[in-house]
Every structure is written in structure tokens, then in C-alpha cells.
Chain A
């Protein structure tokens, strides 16, 4: 399976890349929502999963989620916000825009994998 990691922090992308690699995902990376859309537009078939930061330059995570939901070619991609934004209203906004899950930073690898297991993207009980 493939995942696109969308985060302007190189350090966070590195952590996510390591976790996702350990559970067998191939990984693509983008620094913001717009770059992610550009990468996805050039691909044959969307990845199964996008892990999306909220605050990024050019196009933020919420805007990316809305754009991805509106794009038929991306409709099978599971959208998971991974962000420090933790107000209840923001979680609700992300879900309303079309995000499937929400992981609040800081997170542990177990917590992320748990969420992916809820979405059926890794076997329940997988661990790194």
C-alpha cells in the first residue's frame, strides 16, 4: 500500500516515513497541500492513504481535504489529519470537510497504527 505524507516539517515527515515503512507502506512526501495535489495529479492511481498536517504554507491541510474530496480520482484515498490543532471545533471542521480520522500531535507510533487499524489499513494489533 502507498501513503502520501503531507507536512511542511521535514522532521515529522521523517518520523512518519519510518513508522509507515515499518508497517509496509510505500511513501510519497509533499511539503504542502498544493504540492501534494500536483504529485497526485501526475500519478496513475491515488495512494490508499494521505496523512495530512493542518498548518502549511500555500495550501493548508483543511483546504487539501476539501480539494481531495472534490476530486473523483482521489475518492478512494483515506484522509487522516495529523496535527497539533486540537480544539473540538477544529476536529469537527476537519471531519465535516471529509477527513476520515484525526490524530493529535504529539502522537506515538502505536496511536497512529491504532487509528490506521480502525480504518482497516493495517491488521489490528500490528506493532512496530
Chain B
């Protein structure tokens, strides 16, 4: 159930009072997406119910969760850093050795929001791949509004402050008015497509690496299982899946094994991983 304009204004006011962060009317999607896990956690039926319950009896813990969900967890370039380090230090060297004949990699950033993740992946691949290699990055999201932003590749000062080393800012962005825009060459290396992960997936080809981070938390177990099964069909036998820090395939889909990847963990298809490597993840 969608939030009414009154509910949206209520949430925006709460967040502004508590954090000074202003959520404009264009943040409707963000508010609903971020509050869904909070609604689930607190036993509310949906986000509208969460807001109604809170209005009836304001609970300090719920207030804190709502504010945190809308302020501290924004997507950013190189979010969480470790998966990107694992990509360049562990995953890419292995894939480069394995794909010497095709010299091409395909990466999927699922639930890519406003595009920081696929562009971060593009920056890393451009840096790490040997000359003569090419790559395709697909960014998908359920929100066409987010995808429009991602395609434009325009980011605010606040967004480029987050997680992006200044050298990369200079190298890969250019100032356009109040925004910083991803340079055309990098923009062209990422394609975007609207996709609902919870629905049957179209044919997208097969991927060497899939970033599916901080999205399973929004789904119930059945949907998680169904998404992981669909992803398994699109992952190459020796491919790598990265989930968010609070997510796992364990107990949900045993097609995957958790493996160490640098200082973090990733998931690989049980059918494609040598037995010795299976179960090494932390």
C-alpha cells in the first residue's frame, strides 16, 4: 500500500527534525523502499501501517529506526568498500586467468538505485582489466525514476563526497552546474534496464559477477529463494555473487556455497566450485 502525501510529509518532517536531512517530494521511492524492512521488523503490515502505528503511539526505538533507515544507509560509491576490494584483488585475477580466450567480462548490478554501484564497478574494471579486455555492466532497478537518474550519471556534491576518492572524482567525473557528471566514456560502459527481481526474469545473458546487495532484506524467504534461483541461472558456473553484509544464501538456497573473497565473503554455485574451496567463507 502506497503512502499518502500526508504520511510522506509526516515522515519527511520527522527525519528533518531528527537529522536535519531534507527529503524532498522526489524521495517517495526512497522512503517506501527504506521503511519496508523497518515495517517488517516491527510487525507492521506495510509502510503505511508502520506510519499509522507510529502516529498512534510514537515509540522512540521506531523513531530511531525510521530516521536511521532514511539517513545513514544511503547508497554511495564503493559502498562498504570490501566487496570492491575483493573484486579487484581476488575475483578479477581469477576471472582474467579463466577468460583469456574471450577477454570479456559481464557484470550485473541488481537493484542499482541511482547508479553509484554500477559506476563504481565500471571504475574498478577499467582500472583492473589488462589492455584489450572489454566489459559490460548491466544496472537494473525496479524504479524507472532511479534508472533515469542513473542513466544521466549526475551526482550532487553530497553524493560525490561519499566514498569516492578525490582522484577518482577528477578522473571520471566532470562538473556540470551544481552536479558532477560521470564522463561519457564510463557512462557508455554501463547499460540500465528496468527489472523487478521478484518477478520472472527476462533473458539477460550470463554473468561473471553479480552484485545483489542490500535487496534480499526487502523480501520474505520465499521471494529470496526465488530471486536466488533466478540469479543462479544467470551466473556462469565459475561466477561470483556478492550479497549485502546482512544477507546470506545459507538456509535459503543450497545451490550456493559461501567462499572467502579477500576480507569479505561471496557466494558461488555449488555445482561450479571445486570441493576444496567450498565452505571456506566466514
Contacts and interface: CB of A to CB of B under 8 A. Distances in A.
A41 interface: no
A111 B162 contact: yes
B124 interface: no
A91 B162 CA distance: 16
A114 B76 contact: yes
A108 interface: yes
B157 A104 contact: yes
Interface string A87-128: 110011001000001111011101100110110000011010
B28 interface: no
Contacts of A91: 166, 169-170
A101 B162 CA distance: 12
A111 B170 contact: no
Contacts of B173: 88
A86 interface: yes
Interface string A57-86: 000000000000000000000000000001
Contacts of B203: none
Size range of the chain B interface in the assembly: 10 to 19
B89 interface: no
Given A111-B162, A114-B162, A124-B82, A88 B170 contact: yes
A106 B175 contact: no
B158 interface: yes
Interface string B79-101: 01110000000000000000000
B94 to A, nearest CB: 24
A106 B161 CA distance: 9
Given A86-B175, A118-B165, A127-B72, A106 B158 contact: yes
Size range of the chain A interface in the assembly: 20 to 34
A104 B161 contact: yes
B247 to A, nearest CB: 16
Interface string B161-192: 11101110110011100000000000000000
Contacts of B80: 125
Nearest to B79: A114
Contacts of A118: 163, 165
A95 B167 contact: yes
Contacts of A114: 76, 161-163
A50 to B, nearest CB: 15
- The residue in B81, B158, B161, B170 that gathers the most chain A C-beta atoms within 10 A of its C-beta is B161
A110 B80 CA distance: 12
A88 B166 contact: no
A101 B165 contact: yes
Interface of A: 86-88, 91-92, 95, 101-104, 106-108, 110-111, 114-115, 117-118, 124-125, 127
Interface of B: 72, 76, 80-82, 157-158, 160-163, 165-167, 169-170, 173-175
